[in-house]
Structure 1
């Protein structure tokens, strides 16, 4: 399933590449936009999928996968950072994750 996310994800370049970050977002969500801006302002490389812009069947597969793998409610933005995750916009948690990852 992570292959499906990888296939659909768009990449944003950044000089900080110490963590593998993918965010699942909604194109109209202000918190999702804030998350992307937060990463961009810190020059962090990441990938994202606007789940409201993809095929319904693919969206359903991704949501089921997230629920099964992370045993969590699904809310956006949903950030996957290596083997950890953050549900919702939480810049304090993002900062912690960036500090713990190499570089």
Structure 2
């Protein structure tokens, strides 16, 4: 195999980059601007503490509600041996909801 000689004109990729027309450069700028805007929007959403707390509260409420329905169904069944195994996660979820609500209220002060 032979290597191409080094010349002062640079590589093919460098030549392609420099031979772009104004339309291509403007399209690249627009694409980069759109990508940057999307990144900023995503970071803004991730850093919105109030929104993140609300999402977490909703998630915990949903899990608590599901666990509560499951506990009711097991309580109504004839098998009461594992009632505590259902009530423990439910009480933990309720405690988490109360804690999150307390933190959100504290943060608003």
TM-score after normalising by structure 2: 0.23
**Greater helix fraction, Structure 1 or Structure 2:** 2
TM-score after normalising by structure 1: 0.24
Higher relative contact order (CA 8 A, sep 6+): 1
